[in-house]
Structure 1
Amino acid sequence: MISTLGQVMVYVNNQDESVKFWTEKVGFTVISEEDNGEGMRWIEIAPQKDSQTSIVLHNKEVIAKMGSGANLEAPSLLFFTEDIESLHAKLSSNNVFVGEIVTMPIGKTFHFADNEQNYFAVAERNRK
C-alpha cells in the first residue's frame, strides 16, 4: 500500500537558477544534491528538512534524452500555508510573480510562477 507522497519530480531547464529561486525567494532548503558523474544530477528541496514530501529538480534535457516517456511539464502543485497574506507579501517583495489572493470554498488561495514560468498554487485552508 502507498503510505505517503515522498517526492515530486520537477523538470527544469536550469537547475542552478531553479535552486536559487526556491531557496532564496521562496525559502525552501536544499535537502540533498546528487550527481552520478554521467550527466545525471538532481537536487532535492523542501520547505523544511523534516518535510514529508520534497521536490526533486531534474534537468529537463537530460530526462528527455533518456526517452523514459516522463511528462516533462511542471506538475500542478498546491502548497499549504498558515499565513497566506504574509507569504504573498514575501514572494511579492522577492520579485516573484504572484496572482491576487482569492477566497474559495476551501479558504484563501493564490498562484505564483517560478523562474521558468511554471505556475504553482498556495492555499490557506479554512480553520474549523
Structure 2
Amino acid sequence: MVNYIAKVTIYVNNQEEAKQFWTEKMGFVCHEQPMGPHFKWMEVRPKEAEKTSFVIYEKELMLKQNPKANVSHPNVILSTTDIEGAYQQLQANGVKVGELQIMPYGKMFTFEDQDHNIYLLREDQ
C-alpha cells in the first residue's frame, strides 16, 4: 500500500533563511521552483538520490491559506551512521546542539534550526 514517506512539511518564518540553514549548515541539497508571483516551492533532502524530502513552507502563507493549520515545530527524527562525527560537524557549522546522549539503546542528540524548531539525530545501529 504505502511504499515510503515522500515529504514532510516544515513550517518556517522565512524560506531563504531555512534554505541557508539546511544547505549550508546541514549539507542538504535544495530544489525550488516558482509557484506564482509571491511563492516558491522549496524542498531539501540529505542527498540528491534520497526519496524523502522536507518541504520548506512559510508559516504565514500557510495560515493565510488555512487558518486552522498547525504550524508548530516538527517532531522529526533523522539518522546517521556516525553520531560523533555529525555532532562535531554541526557544532563546527554553528548549529545549536543539545548534549550527546549515550543510552543503552543508542546514541542521539537534539539540534535546532533557524526558527528554533527542535530535531533529533540518532545513530543507526
TM-score, normalised with respect to structure 2: 0.93
CA contact (8 A) 2:108 2:122 kept: yes
Query: After alignment, is 61-70 or 89-98 more displaced?
Result: 61-70
Q: Which 5+ residue runs of structure 2 have no aligned equivalent?
A: none
Q: What's the CA shift for 1:120? A: 0.3
Q: What's the CA shift for 1:34? A: 2.2
Deviations 1:1-35 (A, max 9, x none): 222100000111111011001100010011x2122
Alignment of 1:8-87 (within 5 A): 8-30=8-30, 32-67=31-66, 69-87=68-86
Q: What's the CA shift for 1:87? A: 0.6
The count of residues paired between Structure 1 and Structure 2 equals 125
SS, match of residue 18 in structure 1: helix
Deviations 1:75-112 (A, max 9, x none): 21110001011110011011110011112343100000
Deviations 1:25-49 (A, max 9, x none): 010011x212221433221100001
Structure 1 vs Structure 2 CA RMSD: 1.3
Alignment of 1:116-127 (within 5 A): 116-126=115-125
SS, match of residue 25 in structure 2: helix
**Counterpart residue type for residue 5 of structure 1:** I
Residue identity (%): 38
Query: After alignment, is 60-69 or 84-93 more displaced?
Result: 60-69
Q: What's the CA shift for 1:59? A: 1.2
- Misfit runs of 4+, over 4 Å: none
Q: Which 5+ residue runs of structure 1 have no aligned equivalent?
A: none
Query: After alignment, is 90-99 or 63-72 more displaced?
Result: 63-72
